[in-house]
Structure 1
Amino acid sequence: MRFTNTLAAFAASFSLAQAFTSGFNVAANNPDGSCLTTAQYTTAFQKLQALPQKIKTVRLYASSDCNQLALAVPAAISTGTQILVGVWTEDEAHYTAEKAALQSAIQAHGHSWIYAISVGSEDLYRGDTTASTLAGQVYDVRGMVRQYGVTQPVGHVDTWTAWVNSTNSAVITAVDFLGMDGYPYFQYSSIGDAPSVFWTSVNNTKNVAQGKPVWVTETGWPVSGSNFGAAVPSIGNARKYWREVFCKATSEIDIFWYVYQDYSSNPSFGIFNSAGNAIYDLKSC
């Protein structure tokens, strides 16, 4: 019996160790610029959970913008969805408002709805801040949320090219996880080469991660828009990228697809159109 229990415990721990999260990026704005309502967040979360992959984790980019957490957290709680929270770091007044919005959401709703917290998004890629400043903000937010019993990881999201830049190593030291944005489309890759280009960016990021978890926080392929070198937007190519990258990556790494809906953008990466229907088949994972 002891041997059987030991095997069962080992199997359970191995299974847990191999579990990875699949999520979606969800924007705060409708195409007309208006902010999503709680009802619209609820609809979005329900649609994602209705996918064959049963997506129950979403990434939001900010906390105070469009009252994002105030409106999205009730929808997350009612649907059993967890949120990778975004805290915008620029400028100081905005950063202060973002922290206040996160604090208010935790005080009002606890923290079981939090999957993780990202302090900033592509700040290093844009050159809008320094690594030391951003690292200080990661420590600052982590210290704030720990006072409320939040144990979920606090990290940062940036392009893989920013992570492998050695001048940004202070941020790697500060974070609990590295959120990596990688788009073979923007690297002028053909759809045939896209899986190789994607995994090269992941592995390059892992090589500098100081042993910390690397999550793919954004990746996708546009269904429409302009060509980017050999990269051609189309529904067929987006479907192929979904199957050959997202579907395979779900067993190897935490990954968040870009994006739930953006049908008025150029290029457009959205999976759901203006009628709320999936633009291509998502059943193949």
Structure 2
Amino acid sequence: MHVTSTLVALAATFSSAMAVYKGFNYDAAGGKSESEWETEFKAAQGLAGAPGFTSARLYTMRQGDGTDPIAAVPAAIKTKTSLLLGLWASGGAAGFAGELTALKSTITQYGKDLKGLVAGISVGNEDLYRITDTATAHGNTDAGLDPTTLAGYISQVKDAIKNTAFADIKVGHVDTWTAWVNGTNKKVIDASDFLGVNAFPYWESDHPPNDISHASGLFKDAISQVQSIAQGKELWYTETGFPAAGKVSGTAVPSVANAKLYWDQVGCANFDKVNVWWYTLNDQGAAVSFGVTDSSYKPLFDLSCGGGGTSSSSTTSSSSTTSSSVSSSTTSHSSSTISSLSSSTESSASSTTSSASSSEASTSSTSAEDTSTPTVTVDTTSTITSTPVTSASPTSTAVTAGAGSVSGSLGASFAAALMAILAI
């Protein structure tokens, strides 16, 4: 009996460890209503051929430019959508104070109902990238944040959630992979519980070839480099995707067929292994459109992964047969949406009144060599396994909330072995 109970407990622990989050990034442009959020969350959950997209990544805690909790929160509770909460950090001190107020109000009003639905809390998005020479060289004029201030903000959030319903929630930061490997940003790594990685091979125009046949290899290289400096902390894939429409970037050509291939090679290879928030569900009207659905939320291509996806270690990328040195790739958010979140004054931080056609994530991103970023040579023949955490097994990306999906093959194998033992 003792053996049986021990094995059952082990099985429960193993299953929890295998839980991962799978979802999309969502912008808050226009101060969307609760019903609008519900519509989007239900659309993601109901995607034909792609079950399990039950998580959403947010960029702000604020509804509009006030300090009330964003309407996405009650919508998530109603639809059982898990959330990677976000606080916009580049809106000045007063702006961030507003984000903290909204976070505290969220805990007070919804903390109990959000139990099991919070994947983590991201303090900022691409703030470190936006202060680089790379960003400046490509015309970025939007506010960023220095690593010392950002690390301090992360500490403020951790202090704010102590002794609350969110006390055990991981707090980290999301940035471009090049920002993470820039040694000047180590303070942010030190302060973070997890590292959210934004990586878009499409934008690697300064490091051709970056066409679709090389995209999976470039993504692997980016993850490998961040993994090498992550101090063993969890890496979450917070933004990646390939555009179905838009301009050519380097040798990368947007098309539905190429978006599908990237989904198969990068998405399907990781969806049930690592926390992934894909960019994006729908961004109709964007100059470069990464959305996987049309305006009515009908998939642009087959989103199923059953046997259709290929491991990111066996793509057609020629970089899988040679060592490559990739020193930079960056993504940034559209100027109009960043302006909506980090307003020009500290007293009126993040306004979300951008036009609905603007996207909150990288629709006007740039890619160039950041001279402050060290070049790291990576052997791309190595395989990125089920988790990007250094020297760890797939279970090291465990999250305890119940909204994640469970990786199939490994969990099934364990369950079968367990049942065989119990039958003895």
TM-score normalized by the length of structure 2: 0.63
Aligned to 1:105: 106
Cα distance in 2 for partners of 1:79, 1:129 equals 34
Aligned to 1:123: 127
Q: In structure 1, give the amino acid aligned to 2:74.
A: P
Q: In structure 1, give the amino acid aligned to 2:121.
A: I
Say yes or no: does 1:135 pair with 2:145: no
Cα distance in 2 for partners of 1:179, 1:192 equals 25
Aligned to 2:10: 10
Q: In structure 1, give the amino acid aligned to 2:52.
A: K
Say yes or no: does 1:36 pair with 2:37: no
Q: In structure 1, give the amino acid aligned to 2:170.
A: P
Cα distance in 1 for partners of 2:183, 2:249 equals 28
Tell me whether 84-93 or 135-144 shows the greater mean CA deviation. 84-93
Cα distance in 2 for partners of 1:12, 1:230 equals 47
Tell me whether 66-75 or 37-46 shows the greater mean CA deviation. 66-75
Q: In structure 2, give the amino acid aligned to 1:274.
A: S
Among 57, 60, 80, the residue aligned to 1:59: 57
State the structure with more CA Rg. Answer: 2
Say yes or no: does 1:173 pair with 2:174: no
1:98-122 CA deviation, whole Å, 9 max, x = no partner?
1111111111111424221100100
Among 184, 187, 203, the residue aligned to 2:224: 203
Q: In structure 2, give the amino acid aligned to 1:125.
A: Y
3-state SS of paired residue (1:134): helix
Cα distance in 2 for partners of 1:41, 1:208 equals 36
Aligned to 1:83: 83
Q: In structure 2, give the amino acid aligned to 1:115.
A: A
Cα distance in 1 for partners of 2:18, 2:118 equals 21
Aligned to 1:269: 290
3-state SS of paired residue (2:298): coil
Aligned to 1:25: 25
Aligned to 1:164: 181
Q: CA RMSD in A?
A: 1.7
Aligned to 2:41: 45
Tell me whether 215-224 or 195-204 shows the greater mean CA deviation. 195-204
Cα distance in 2 for partners of 1:9, 1:213 equals 24
Aligned residues of 2:22 and 2:272 also touching (Cα < 8 A): no
Q: In structure 2, give the amino acid aligned to 1:47.
A: A
Paired-residue identity, %: 40
- Greater helix proportion: 1
Aligned to 2:349: none
Count of equivalent residues? 281
3-state SS of paired residue (2:196): strand
Structure with the greater relative contact order (CA < 8 A, sep ≥ 6): 1 or 2? 2
3-state SS of paired residue (1:201): helix
Q: Tell me the CA shift for residue 14 of structure 1.
A: 3.1
Q: In structure 1, give the amino acid aligned to 2:53.
A: I
TM-score normalized by the length of structure 1: 0.93
Cα distance in 2 for partners of 1:282, 1:149 equals 35
3-state SS of paired residue (2:122): strand
Q: Tell me the CA shift for residue 4 of structure 1.
A: 4.1
Gaps of 5+ in 2: 132-143, 307-424
3-state SS of paired residue (1:173): helix
Cα distance in 1 for partners of 2:181, 2:60 equals 25
Aligned to 2:324: none
Q: Tell me the CA shift for residue 270 of structure 1.
A: 1.1
Q: Tell me the CA shift for residue 169 of structure 1.
A: 0.6
Tell me whether 71-80 or 273-282 shows the greater mean CA deviation. 273-282
Say yes or no: does 1:233 pair with 2:225: no
Q: In structure 2, give the amino acid aligned to 1:177.
A: F
Aligned residues of 2:202 and 2:252 also touching (Cα < 8 A): yes
Q: In structure 2, give the amino acid aligned to 1:133.
A: T
Gaps of 5+ in 1: none
1:85-137 CA deviation, whole Å, 9 max, x = no partner?
11011211211111111111111111424221100100000112211111010
3-state SS of paired residue (2:290): coil
Q: Tell me the CA shift for residue 170 of structure 1.
A: 0.6
Cα distance in 2 for partners of 1:94, 1:273 equals 34
Tell me whether 141-150 or 210-219 shows the greater mean CA deviation. 141-150
Q: Tell me the CA shift for residue 19 of structure 1.
A: 2.9
